[in-house]
Amino acid sequence: MLQRCVLQRILHRFHSGGPEPPRSLLYGRPAALLCGHRAASPRRSSTGLPHVNEQTLIVVKPDGVQRRLVGQIIQRFEQRGFKLVGLKMLRVSEDLLSQHYCQLTSKPFYPSLLYYMTSAPVVVMVWEGHKVIQTSRTMVGHTNPAEAQAGTVRGDFSMHVSRNVVHASDSLEGAQREIQLWFQGNELLNWDCWDQTITCEE
Ligand code: DAT
Ligand code: MG
């Protein structure tokens, strides 16, 4: 019954169309980033305003890949209700890393950070959902695992700041910049998650 109800709502949304908001409002990122995407029909909240889903960049760092933690980290974001819209595995170049960590290149630990981050592949993802940026930071935990709470990724899987398993964007501006840096527009998929009316108010 519930499934049929959800399906009917999805089909209704699909067929009813309606005006689209400016693309730049969707997902809180610039229109240029949406190239090659089908714009989703706007979902309206009880206030009548369109939902603006955030996106964030999550990277499983080389220690996470080496320790086969990728599946467990993905599972945490899935079970929280977030939607995976981009995923790839790559060996990061020095150039990309210096752009990603542009505020850290003058830090004394940057050479060892560079060595570690380029030592093995990383798995890089874009997750979407309500307040995903702030929630992901909470889920990932303190930068220094020694201070990270149990239950967070860093608090459960790591002990030293130089090997803290995962990266998560720390602000809307940071997420937009990092997503643009790591992904081409056509590598991100805009798709309807069938449970989105259950996990978030429409
Ligand atoms: P976060 O990853 O929590 O956003 P950050 O942006 O300040 O933290 O630093 C980026 C990464 O740099 C961090 O995840 C691990 C590394 N790092 C930060 N401070 C460090 C330190 N004092 N020694 C070694 N690595 C450090
Ligand atoms: Mg940071």
**pLDDT higher than threshold 60 for residue 152:** yes
- Ligand 1, atom 13: nearest CA belongs to which residue? 143
With respect to CATH, is domain 55-199 assigned 3.50.50.60? no
CA of 118 relative to ligand 2 center, distance in Å: 17
pLDDT for 170: 98
Q: H helices within 45-140, ranges in order?
A: 62-66, 70-80, 94-100, 110-117, 132-140
The DSSP string of 145-189 is GGGSPBTBHHHHH---GGG--EEE--SHHHHHHHHHHH--GGGS-
Looking at all shown ligands, the one closest to residue 166's CA atom is 1
pLDDT tens digits, residue range 156-202? Answer: 999 999 999 999 999 999 999 999 999 999 999 999 998 888 998 86
Lowest mean pLDDT among 15-24, 102-111, 112-121, 168-177: 15-24
88: which 2 tokens? 């790839």
Angle at 22 between CA 20 and CA 23, to 5 degrees: 95
**161, 163, 177, best to mutate for ligand 1 pocket (most atoms within 8 Å of CB):** 161
* Domain extent listing, the chain: 2-36, 55-199
pLDDT band at residue 96 using 50, 70 and 90 as cut-offs: very high
CA distance 200 to 198: 6
Instruction: List 87's β-bridge partners, or say none.
Output: 125
SS3 state at 124: strand
Q: Tens digit of pLDDT for each residue in 14-51?
A: 344 333 333 333 343 333 333 233 333 344 545 555 55
Q: Write phi, then psi, for 143 (nearest 5 degrees).
A: -55, -45
Per-residue pLDDT tens digits for 45-94: 455 555 558 999 999 999 999 999 999 999 999 999 999 999 999 999 99
3-state DSSP call for residue 65?
A: helix
pTM: 0.80
- Is residue 121 scored above 90 in pLDDT? yes
